[in-house]
Structure 1
Amino acid sequence: MNSLKSITKTAALTATVILVSGAAPAVAAPDVSPGKATVVLVHGAFADGSSWDKVIPLLQGRGLNVVSVQNPLSSLADDVAATRRALDMQTGPIVLVGHSWGGVVISEIGQHERVKALVYVSAFAPSEGQSVADLGKDYPKPKGSSFIIADQQGFLTLKAEGMARHFAQDLPAARTKIMMATQGPVSAKSFEEKTTVAAWRTRPSWYILSEQDHMIQPALQSAMAQKISARIVKLPTSHVPQLSRPKQVADAIAAAAAYQPQ
């Protein structure tokens, strides 16, 4: 019993020293398969990292390492910082994947030295100096945008009807209810923030185009995919092909991971 008390006191003293001194415990190396590419997944607005849950096991089944970033959705800079931390933790080549708003994030951070390829999933692909608002100004207003509401702090969420009928209209109600409960509110100001980098200029890119999208006009998606000279995969899906057609999305990501420049 005295021995147990001694161990407990030692642990408590160690924790106190760390808190008082500002010292931090050593950061563990990521648990990855040696020699394999890592896929870093960046979610979009009105979502969180679980939006990739159907794709992750398919990629892991192919021997790929996978990390799903949890974006704060509070600003472009904050989301880029969260993604950079995930990228810095990796030790090998990375395929960086962005869904929707996440496409802006990967365009900004995608020149990271370990990133070998980019995959845009129903995503915005801005040029330098462009914002989401800039990209959509010449296209009709998407149906789903009518179901977005703002709180007093300027954060946006999607109404239940918008989630079920326009964000993920090809998913069962049981799933859209979960998505509604777990969605990440996004700062409205983020959509006005302009990028400073267009990583697709220096990285091979893939684009998964959702042909029945009610959140980003398919015509806009097509224009962006062509602009970035992406390898295009068209799917007859809603805004979330990673949930309704996970195999095809995983196939495109795996193709990017296997790509070897000539």
Structure 2
Amino acid sequence: MSDTTVVLVHGAFAESSSWNGVLTLLQDAGIDAIATPNALRSVTTDAENVRRLVDSLPGDVLLVGHSYGGAVITEAGAGNQKVKGLVYVAAFAPDHGENALDLTSQFPGSSLGERVRPYPLGDGTNDLVVDRALFTDQFAADVPLEVAKLSALTQRPIRDYALGEGLPAETPAWKTLPSWFIYGTGDKNIPEAGLAFMAERAGSRGTRVIDGASHSVMVSNPGAVAELIKAALAELA
């Protein structure tokens, strides 16, 4: 699918530069790719922003989502004829009505809840950030320390409403589109068992599990993520 563009969607407590390593490898391979900003306000509005980008691009699209970005691509890809596949990078793949909080707590192992800090927005909702002093261990334990420290300072807050919003699409995109999954056994945000459950439920065409990798698997293992994306593109060709 030489005319396919890869659209990378970051998740909560991250930002577009978290894809830099993956983007570099895809560009070196001659693959068109773009990392789009994610406002982290609600699944509905964040997915609509991704749809607008998809509509602006020529040709087909492969959507790639990290963490909460997985919920966004699941919604954005639903019923979209330009989207040909989905790659979930330590990401949520919710069904209709499911939300990130429920999927996180469905399996034991996440320590995220005790390490986030709320900031009231004045409308009854809160922005959430990972405690900056705890970010490295929680989010990026296998990332070089100086990089992880910078990530703690540049993390984008997510509105709590977004994490608790059930997936609007009655038919999530993974039920009609091929999907691929990659995640690490050292993920402290989404339990490994939960990621495995979502990959199996979605009928993943290829699942890569990286021993010891943190939630920031695209930063610590950009080569593995890029290779999975290239494999997905080859299978879609």
Structure 2: which amino acid aligns with 1:149? Answer: R
CA distance in 2, matches of 1:183, 1:88: 28
C-alpha contact 1:144 1:162 (8 A) present in aligned 2: no
Q: 1:136 maps to what in 2?
A: 104
Q: 2:24 maps to what in 1?
A: 57
C-alpha contact 1:67 1:86 (8 A) present in aligned 2: no
| 1:245 equivalenced with 2:213 (yes/no) | no
Q: 1:100 maps to what in 2?
A: 67
Structure 2: which amino acid aligns with 1:254? Answer: K
CA distance in 2, matches of 1:259, 1:129: 30
| 1:43 equivalenced with 2:10 (yes/no) | yes
Larger radius of gyration: 1
Q: Identity, % of aligned pairs? A: 36
Aligned length: 228
TM-score of the superposed pair, with normalisation by structure 2: 0.92
Following TM superposition, by how much is the alpha carbon of 1:135 offset from its aligned partner in structure 2, in angstroms? Answer: 1.6
CA distance in 2, matches of 1:155, 1:141: 23
Following TM superposition, by how much is the alpha carbon of 1:136 offset from its aligned partner in structure 2, in angstroms? Answer: 2.6
| 1:87 equivalenced with 2:54 (yes/no) | yes
Q: 2:156 maps to what in 1?
A: 184
Structure 1: which amino acid aligns with 2:191? Answer: Q
The secondary structure found in structure 2 opposite 1:139 is: coil
Q: 1:110 maps to what in 2?
A: 77
Structure 1: which amino acid aligns with 2:207? Answer: I
Q: 1:235 maps to what in 2?
A: 210
TM-score of the superposed pair, with normalisation by structure 1: 0.83
The CA RMSD measured in Å over matched residues stands at 1.5
CA distance in 2, matches of 1:255, 1:94: 15
Q: Which stretches of structure 1, 4 residues or longer, exceed 3 Å deviation after superposition?
A: none
Structure 1: which amino acid aligns with 2:210? Answer: L
Partner deviation per Cα, 1:210-229 (whole Å, 9 max, x = no partner): 11100100010001100001
CA distance in 2, matches of 1:86, 1:47: 20
Structure 2: which amino acid aligns with 1:258? Answer: A
Q: Whose relative contact order is higher, 1 or 2, with alpha carbons under 8 Å and at least 6 apart?
A: 2
Structure 2: which amino acid aligns with 1:256? Answer: A
User: Residue 168 of structure 2: which of 173, 196, 201 is its match?
Assistant: 196
Q: 2:140 maps to what in 1?
A: 168
CA distance in 1, matches of 2:104, 2:18: 24
Q: 1:12 maps to what in 2?
A: none
Which segments of 5 or more consecutive residues in structure 2 lack a partner in the other structure?
A: none
CA distance in 1, matches of 2:157, 2:108: 24
